[in-house]
Amino acid sequence: MLILGFLISSLYALVAVGFTMIFGVAGVLNLAHGAFVMVGAYLAIWAFVILKWSLPVAFAFAILGVAVIAPLVYRVLIRPIENRTVTVFLATLLLAVLLEQVIILFFSAKPRTDLPPFIQGGFVLWGTSIPYNRLLAGVVALVVIGLLWAFVTRTKTGKAILALSMDRRGAALVGIASHRITLWVWAISGALAAIAGLFITSFLGIQPFEERVSLVIAFSTVVLGGLGSIPGSLWAAFIIGYAETIAQAFAPEARGLASLVILLIVLTIRPQGLFGRAAT
Amino acid sequence: MILHRRGRTRSYPIAVLLLLLLIASALVPQFFPKNSFLLSVLILANIWAILAMSWDILSGYAGQISFGHSFFFGLGGYTTAFLSVLYGWSPILVIALGGVVAALGGLLIAAPALRLRGPYLSLMTLVAALALDRLLRLLKPEIGIPGAEGAILCIPQCLLTYNTALKYYYSLGLMILIAGALYTLARSRIGLAFEAIRDDEEAAQAAGINTAKYKTLAFAISGFVAGVSGAFYVYHIGSASPSSLLDLEHSIEVIVAAVLGGMGTIIGPIFGAYFLVLVREYLRFLGGWRFFVLFAVALLVLFFVPRGVLPELRLKLRQWLQSGSGQRRNQKV
Amino acid sequence: MTMKSKTNTIGPILVLDRLTKSFGGLHAVSELSFDVRDGEILGFIGPNGAGKTTVFNLITGVYRPTRGRVLFQGQDISGWPPYRVVNAGIARTFQIPRPFRHKTVDQNVEISTLPNEIFTRYPSRRERRERVLQCCTRTGLCEVCGQDPSQCHDVSSCACRREFPNTLPHAGLRKLEVAKALATEPALLLLDEPFAGLTVAEVEELSELLRDLQREGRTLVIVDHNMRGLMKLVERVVVIHFGTKLAEGAPGEVAQNPVVQEAYLAGSGAGDETA
């Protein structure tokens, strides 16, 4: 359970980091983020099951696909209305339900479980059986987060992203082209969502409305960690991931409730999250 | 001369249009006496219109964007189902109590919500709706439908009338009553205080407005009205269940209705709700496409007509009327 | 126009008593004490980032002081919510004008007259509209909206009913800020850089209005980042730097004060460019 919790948590972290990056850098609370997770999964199903591509190619296709769709969404839909916060907020919500409908039209609302695990088999550790696929998911998630961290702290583009998330105006003053960087952030965020979507689907299957669960989890994680704070959302992902795993072990029907309860408490006591700056 | 930015001038053409529509809707049962499907759809449209207006007063006016309006809808509906099954009180009392319970729910949410702004608040409302859904599913009442989680069947206790036309008139009357009340409220000093909070909360405080009090009031009023719509809905369908009352879809649909018709207008969301329900019920042959169309239209409206269709229409109408009289005036000046 | 809670006490109308505000480890304001005398116009000056706006936010209840007290007309108002402070008789304007975007100019002003009681007949609609009209005419908003003020007899014919803030020029927005503050019927008016971005003629016009307000018995505190613009208007200035008081006194004296000159030179004039 300790390990499974860890593995699930790292996937939550992937979803949450992408979500918080878009908020931190672009100032957009992207309610379609859950839909990106879902679109990634369905792109892979389409490529693998219908086009009969090999699994790794299908995975790569899905990740790239979302990494292209996400910045497109920003460029076409969000950017023209960028400075109207409420409109953007509602637009991403409508986009999310619209994407749900698109998926339902193409794939029906039935759950799909035909995306096979990346690797078969598993092993038993301390009485818990751990499929290799889950282990892989955890490892991939951690590697991706590590790479992201290296990217953000080492490369020029990455540093620009970090600077933007700290202070938009300051970044503009030192000559960071915020629109180009924002496109990058949407692409990265989309790719992270797609990776998470692929693995979640390969353990649990997926259905169109699943995106709402992803969104709520991402949202709770990010609020718990403090909106816009990348390290905060990493910590929070593990707290929520474990809470969910433990809750599920004791009472399966409580899945999703644990994160809600945590969220309610955090929202009430410390709205700026564990690592967030106090809103002024 | 700034034509497109006129302040508060009365718009008689719209008033006339509304009156005509009102007469038309009152005559519907006369013209289609056999079409109970139509009437039933229109009853739903009225219920959704009430719900959308309740969203508009909280989110469109007071600026507290709610993502979980099904919370209030569900509270009102469940209160109705319980009270009618357990005590068999009169519908008017039960519907009013449904509203009261939902208003109390609004106060309950307002307490933490006062400390939250923007997206946090929206998330809070969403969580409240999800939590109520989960909670009701745990409920296994003796009066419930066996097998269905948390569902209550309340036929025949909560049946208004077998006469669909009469039920339609009830729903229409209720909708108009609420529209009138909310419209009056929105144009009153209380509505102005709500709008001040929406536009700039800190500036509203600097103007001496007790924002916490007005926000709480907005939650209570919105909760009450949404509760009434939920209560009427239960009287319409004769049962209450988490999936029929607390579906997240309702929360999204009211937003769609308000965006289509025009946020912050009270009357606009009525049209949005009618459009939504008519498309949803009459284009069933399109299957999932009808939702696709609905959401796509809403997104396009948000993008290209951000103020909503009704305010835009009013503007166009006024410009059109003024282009006639405007020329005359220009000659004089 | 009547004023709220007119207690004819001679002496300071506002007292800041060792006021301190820290954000995390940063002391934005520390141990700041000064008085505002009843009926004066006080210049409140400091280089950029000196903490002037923070002090306003502390007085008006936007922030709660970490330590220290704010006394208004002898009453401890520290930690009061903003609306109570306003109702007690302190109004403020914002450095960057913050109009209610979707409301007409007259409604912007009317918002300041709204009571907080849900069921009340006081002040009546008529009374409130009267007050709105007065504030619009005397701040020159009617002219800004394109109407001769002599033709502006009642609210229903006022041009401010037709204009929205986004159609106003910058000076108009500044006037709207003052009108909004005035409509709350303050005894003490806190103005945050009211002259920023105005032409010489506009500064003169606004100064005249402020003098008028003082003559009516109101007290004014005017923030600016330099003294030049305030010299003719204010009788006394308080200078702060890094959240502490540097100097206090008549403008001429203070301008000669070497400590004050030092503070401004250290900022190397960059402070003069703020909008």
B27-62: pLDDT as tens digits: 888 888 778 889 999 999 999 999 999 999 999 999
B259 in reach of chain A (CB within 8 A) = yes
Contact call for residues B94 and B231 (beta carbons, < 8 A): yes
- Could you tell me where the beta strands, DSSP code E, fall in B126-259? 152-153, 239-240
Q: Which element (helix H / strand E) includes B139? A: none
Chain A residues touching B259 at Cβ < 8 A: 90, 94
Chain B residues touching A29 at Cβ < 8 A: 119
Distances (CA, A) of B315 to A81, B9, B201, B272: 21, 11, 28, 17
- Sorted by sequence, the CB contacts under 8 Å of residue A279 that are 6+ apart come out as A271, A272, B117
A80 three-class SS: helix
pLDDT for res A122: 62
Q: Which residue type is seen at B269?
A: P
What is the tens place of the pLDDT at every residue in A190-202? 888 888 888 887 7
Contact call for residues A4 and A137 (beta carbons, < 8 A): no
Range in A116-120, B179-183, C121-125, C229-233 with the lowest mean pLDDT: A116-120
Cβ <8 Å between B209 and C116: yes
Minimal C-alpha gap between A127 and chain B (Å): 31
Higher pLDDT, B118 or C104: C104
Best CA proximity match to A207, nearest among A47, A73, A45: A45
Contact call for residues C215 and C208 (beta carbons, < 8 A): no
Neighbour tally for C270: CB within 10 Å: 11
Beta strand C244-249 with C236-241 is antiparallel
Chain B residues touching A263 at Cβ < 8 A: 123, 127
Token pair, residue A142, equals 């951690």
Contact call for residues C103 and C168 (beta carbons, < 8 A): no
Shortest CB distance from B299 goes to which of A98, A264, A271? A98
A223 in reach of chain B (CB within 8 A) = yes
pLDDT for res C271: 42
Minimal C-alpha gap between B210 and chain C (Å): 5
Cα separation of B267 and A164, whole Å? 42
User: Which strands sit side by side in the sheet containing C244-249, from one edge to the other?
Assistant: C90-92, C188-192, C219-224, C41-45, C236-241, C244-249
Cβ <8 Å between B116 and A212: no
B15 three-class SS: helix
B→C interface, C-beta within 8 Å: 2, 5-9, 189-190, 192-193, 195-196, 198-200, 202-213, 217, 264
Look at residue B119 and tell me whether its pLDDT is greater than 80: no
Cα separation of C242 and C70, whole Å? 19
Look at residue C227 and tell me whether its pLDDT is greater than 80: no
Q: Which element (helix H / strand E) includes C64? A: none
A227 in reach of chain B (CB within 8 A) = yes
Cβ <8 Å between B302 and A29: no
Minimal C-alpha gap between B117 and chain A (Å): 9
- Sorted by sequence, the CB contacts under 8 Å of residue C121 that are 6+ apart come out as none
- Sorted by sequence, the CB contacts under 8 Å of residue B333 that are 6+ apart come out as none
Higher pLDDT, C18 or B162: C18
For A115, phi then psi, to 5°, come to -95, 110
Neighbours of chain C (3+ CB pairs under 8 A): B
Interface test with B, best of C114, C168, C185 (most B CBs within 10 A): C114
pLDDT for res B288: 75
For A12, phi then psi, to 5°, come to -60, -40
For C240, phi then psi, to 5°, come to -120, 160
- Which sign does the torsion angle of CA C241, C243, C248, C250 carry? positive
Mean pLDDT (chain B, rounded): 86
What is the tens place of the pLDDT at every residue in B213-223? 999 999 999 99
Contact call for residues B290 and B280 (beta carbons, < 8 A): yes
Best CA proximity match to A114, nearest among A59, A194, A45, A47: A45
Shortest CB distance from B200 goes to which of C83, C100, C125? C100
Cβ <8 Å between A264 and B115: no
Cα separation of A189 and A22, whole Å? 7
**Interface size, chain A vs chain B, as Cβ–Cβ contacts under 8 Å:** 90
Mean pLDDT (chain A, rounded): 77
Q: Mean pLDDT across the stretch C164-185?
A: 94
Shortest CB distance from A90 goes to which of B112, B134, B259? B259
Shortest CB distance from B299 goes to which of A84, A95, A102? A95
Shortest CB distance from C161 goes to which of B2, B8, B196? B8
Q: Mean pLDDT across the stretch C110-115?
A: 95
Token pair, residue B229, equals 């719509």
Cα separation of B200 and C100, whole Å? 6
For C201-231, give one letter per residue: b (16+ CB within 10 A) or e: ebbebbbebbeebbeeebbbbbbbbbbebbe
Chain A residues touching B289 at Cβ < 8 A: 105
pLDDT for res C34: 93
Look at residue B3 and tell me whether its pLDDT is greater than 50: no
pLDDT for res C267: 52
pLDDT for res A94: 87
Token pair, residue A62, equals 């899905």
B283 in reach of chain A (CB within 8 A) = no
For every residue of A234-272, DSSP letters joined together read: HHHHHHHHHHHHHHHHH-GGGTTHHHHHHHHHHHHH-TT
What is the tens place of the pLDDT at every residue in C237-261? 999 998 899 989 988 888 888 888 8
Minimal C-alpha gap between A210 and chain B (Å): 13
Shortest CB distance from C111 goes to which of B6, B209, B217? B209
Task: State the first-to-last Cα distance of chain B, in angstroms, to the nearest integer.
Answer: 12
Helices (H), chain A: 2-26, 33-45, 55-73, 85-107, 132-154, 156-166, 168-173, 178-204, 210-225, 230-250, 257-269
Look at residue C155 and tell me whether its pLDDT is greater than 80: no
Contact call for residues C173 and C154 (beta carbons, < 8 A): no
Q: Which residue of C has its CA nearest to B209?
A: C83
Token pair, residue A182, equals 């924002």
Token pair, residue B180, equals 């009138």
- Sorted by sequence, the CB contacts under 8 Å of residue A34 that are 6+ apart come out as A15, A96, A211, A212, A213, A214, A215, A216, A218
Best CA proximity match to A80, nearest among B303, B206, B69: B303
Chain A residues touching B130 at Cβ < 8 A: 216, 256, 260
Cβ <8 Å between A101 and B292: yes
Ranges A255-259, B288-292, C28-32, most confident: C28-32
pLDDT for res B316: 84
Q: Which residue type is seen at C75?
A: Q
Neighbours of chain B (3+ CB pairs under 8 A): A, C
Indicate the burial class of B146 (C-beta count within 10 angstroms; 0-12, 13-18, 19 or more).
exposed
Best CA proximity match to C87, nearest among C54, C68, C60, C107: C60
Best CA proximity match to B208, nearest among C77, C165, C181: C181
Best CA proximity match to B303, nearest among A39, A94, A187: A94
The structure's pTM equals 0.87
Q: Mean pLDDT across the stretch C145-152?
A: 78
Cβ <8 Å between A263 and B255: no
Look at residue A112 and tell me whether its pLDDT is greater than 80: no
B274 in reach of chain A (CB within 8 A) = no
Cβ <8 Å between B207 and C86: yes
C→B interface, C-beta within 8 Å: 60-62, 81-83, 86-87, 91-92, 94, 98-104, 106-107, 110-112, 114-116, 118, 125, 128, 161-164, 166-167, 180-181, 183-184
Cβ <8 Å between B306 and A87: yes
What is the tens place of the pLDDT at every residue in C70-98? 999 999 999 899 999 999 999 999 999 99
C142 three-class SS: helix
Q: Mean pLDDT across the stretch B267-289?
A: 89
pLDDT for res B45: 96
Indicate the burial class of C200 (C-beta count within 10 angstroms; 0-12, 13-18, 19 or more).
exposed
A139 in reach of chain B (CB within 8 A) = no
- The neighbouring-strand residues paired with C247 are C239
B67 in reach of chain A (CB within 8 A) = yes
Shortest CB distance from B196 goes to which of C100, C106, C125? C100
A49 three-class SS: helix
Interface test with B, best of A97, A105, A248, A262 (most B CBs within 10 A): A97
So what's the ipTM on this one? 0.89
Q: Which residue of B has its CA nearest to A262?
A: B127
Question: Domains in chain B, ordered, with CATH?
Answer: 32-326 (1.10.3470)
Chain B residues touching A278 at Cβ < 8 A: none
